[in-house]
Structures are given as structure tokens and as C-alpha cells.
Amino acid sequence: MGDLLGVAVLGAGHMGADHIRRLDRVVSSARVAAVADPETDRAKEAAAGIDGVSVHAEPAAALDAPGVQAVLIASPGPAHEEALLAAFERGLPVLCEKPMTPDSAGALRVVEAEARLGRRLAQLGFMRRYDAEYMRLKSLLDSGRLGRPLMLHCTHRNVASPSHFTTPMLINSSVSHEIDAARWLLDEELTAVTVLRPRPSSNAPEGLLDPQFVLFETSGGTLVDVEIFVNSGFGYQVRCEAVCEGGSARIGDGHTMVVTTGGRAGEEVDQDYLVRFAEAYDREVQSWVDATRQGRVTGPSVWDGYAAAAVAEAGVRALESGVGQYVDLAVRPQAYEPTRRRTHDPRARS
Ligand SMILES: NC(=O)C1=CN([C@@H]2O[C@H](COP(=O)(O)OP(=O)(O)OC[C@H]3O[C@@H](n4cnc5c(N)ncnc54)[C@H](O)[C@@H]3O)[C@@H](O)[C@H]2O)C=CC1
Ligand SMILES: O=C1[C@@H](O)[C@H](O)[C@@H](O)[C@H](O)[C@H]1O
């Protein structure tokens, strides 16, 4: 046990329980040392059978538990700021699920707190950066083989939304993945956003504006459109097509086994992100554990978490006002290197 990285997991719900299983059974060189959830029965159930783990109702008690050397935050978004600041106070490395915070002011406080430490401690849980298909698309775009990107067309469909889901969460929880993926794929900031919506689906809970169509403009003049539909009822579908000057590339078509029988051919459609992105989560957590054991922090930063929060906030303003909105981005502290820029002319709005 001594050699394994002792991790406290905060939140033992859908995602937290899956990360606990992953740390316990999939990832090497780590162990679950503590679990915290105000619903202690949930924490006990997720921690059942794990040697040497302690269970707590209070997150702070888990951070201070014996053997804890790092923290994985999988509580709901509104609890992340307090948990991140508590980890920073203790000098504990963190992997924090998205969204970093639901609002940009809270996200900026996190950025400033980490910048004051003078070193990175946190990695953000934007797992698409660890997905094999997204990594292939990123390498292709970076290689320049397709020329300058002009447009990204993205689709993000869930089968059904959880009962606590609100209309702004379509943007600040679900589309936050496309916001991060677009910034990462393009090496550009998202500068403006417009949100349109068709009539709400009758499959959506009463009052939830679902689906939505979100259009981003970038600092480099690329357009990114996202169909977000969290009560599609028919499948978990995440697609991204990059259209460039010299060709296009699309990921997310989900080619699995094709079964032909009775005169029909069919493929299974994933129903859940835990299935579609299983390997990405494994790679993300393994990479965090490996880097942490070497005293390094890699992957998406708190600045990426802040940028996603600021873009999402503009998206919610656009949704509520019906008018396109610019993104207000703070000045990036020196500690966070600018993303690499492509060489074409920037065409940001004046
Ligand atoms: N990367 C991804 O693809 C996904 C990320 N997420 C993110 O993971 C986080 C958790 O989401 P879910 O597991 O779906 O929610 P959930 O509602 O299933 O679980 C959250 C758990 O946290 C507990 N909790 C509440 N306040 C807490 C606190 N202060 N400290 C510790 N635990 C607390 C709740 O009792 C609950 O058991 C969210 O930030 C969500 O956006 C969720 C789904 C997929
Ligand atoms: O992060 C996630 C959820 O929180 C969100 O609610 C879903 O829409 C996303 O598909 C999933 O990846």
C-alpha cells in the first residue's frame, strides 16, 4: 500500500462511484484512501470491499484522513470551489470533474488561489482530451494536413437528463465539454456565442428548454456549432466534424459490431457516457496518477476550467436574452501558458 498514491474521492454519486471503481480496480499505482459524501450510505456502498479506506460525511475530514495524498473531486459543480480551495490549502494535488465551477467568478477565484501557490496543483476532468478519437482528430488538425479549420460541427445527445438538470446546465454542464474540446482542438479562444432553440422536445421534463443549438465564434475566425439534446431518448451520441480548407474529418460515428439478421442490419448505440468514454476516463485518471506520483501536473488546467465557465456564462446570457453575447475573459495569469496559436489571421469581432 505504501507505494500507492492514496486518493480521497469527494462525492460518491454516479461519477464518483465510477472513479472509485476505476482507482480501485483499473488504474495502477493508486488506491482509494478515503471517500466523502453527505449521503454516507452512498459513500459506504461505493467504498465497500476496499482495504484501508475511511468513509466520511464531511469533505474536509476525508482530506485530513490518514494516507490521503491527492484528491479526486466528483461532487456536484457548486461544491467544487470550496473543495478545490481546501485541497490547495493542504497542498494536495487534485483531479476535479467538470464543470470547475458553475460560474466564472468562482472559477476565477480558483485560478487566483492556484496562481498564488506559484505552482499547478489541479487538473480538470475534461476527459475528451483523453479519448482515442478526439486525440486522433487533434493530431490531424495539428499536422496541418487538412489546412486551416473553418468550422466544427458538434452533436451532443444524452438519452435522458438527471432530475436535477436545469436549462442553463445544458450549456454549463453538457456543452462545457464542447467548449473545452473546441478550445483544445483549435488552439483558439471562444469569443462570442449565440443560442437558438427549436420547440422543446415533448420528451424533456416540463420547463426544460431541450434541445438547443449553440453557435460559437473563435478568436481565429472559426465557427463552432453544437446541437445539445439531453433528452433525445435514443442514445448517447457525441460527434465532431472538422471542416478545413483542404478536407474534413469526423469522429463519433460509433462503429461497433454490425449485426445482420432477419433481413436487417443494425449497430448498438451507446446509452451512456460511462460506456462511450470509459477508456478516456481510464486514461485520464491513470495519467493524473502517474503525473502526480512524479510531482507533476498535466492535462487541462484551472485556466481551462475558468475559460469554459466564462464561455458557458456568456452562453447562458445568450440563451436568456435571445441575443448573441461576447465572452468576457479575464487576463490570463502568467503561470498559465497561452495555448499555441495557429498562424492564420485572427478575425475576432471588433
Ligand atoms: N466527465 C464527465 O463526463 C461527467 C462528469 N460529471 C460531473 O461529475 C460531478 C458529479 O456528477 P454526478 O456523479 O453525475 O452527480 P451525482 O448527483 O450522481 O453525485 C454527486 C454526489 O455528490 C454528493 N455530494 C453533494 N455535495 C457534496 C459535497 N459537498 N462533498 C462531497 N460530496 C457531495 C451527493 O450526495 C452525491 O452522492 C459533476 O461535476 C458532474 O458535472 C458527471 C457526469 C459525467
Ligand atoms: O459530463 C457529463 C454530464 O454531466 C452531462 O450532463 C452530460 O450531458 C454529458 O454528456 C456528460 O459527459
Nearest CA among 337, 335, 316, 338 for reference residue 327? 316
5-128+278-300 shares its CATH topology with 129-276+306-326: no
Domain regions of the chain by residue span = 5-128+278-300, 129-276+306-326
Share of the chain above pLDDT 90, in %: 90
According to the model, what pLDDT value does residue 336 have?
Answer: 86
* Nearest-atom index, ligand 2, CA of 162: 6
Per the CB < 8 A criterion, the answer to whether 162 and 231 are in contact is no
Nearest CA among 305, 252, 241 for reference residue 109? 305
Helix axes 278-293, 14-25, angle to 10 degrees: 60
Q: Average pLDDT across each block of 10 residues of the chain; the chain has 350 residues. List them in order.
A: 91 98 98 98 98 98 98 98 98 98 97 95 98 98 98 98 96 98 98 97 97 98 98 96 98 85 90 96 98 97 98 98 97 76 40
Quick one: DSSP state of residue 77? G
According to the model, what pLDDT value does residue 340 have?
Answer: 55
Cβ of residue 200 lying under 6 Å from some atom of ligand 1: no
Reported as a single tens digit per residue, the pLDDT across 8-38 is 999 999 999 999 999 999 999 999 999 999 9
**Residue position matching grid coordinates 486518493:** 7
Q: Whose CA is nearest to atom 3 of ligand 2?
A: 174
CATH number 3.40.50.1820 given to 129-276+306-326: no
Per the CB < 8 A criterion, the answer to whether 228 and 212 are in contact is yes
CATH architecture of the region 5-128+278-300: 3-Layer(aba) Sandwich (3.40)
Ligand with the closest atom to the CA of 124: 1
Q: Whose CA is nearest to atom 6 of ligand 2?
A: 174
According to the model, what pLDDT value does residue 179 have?
Answer: 98
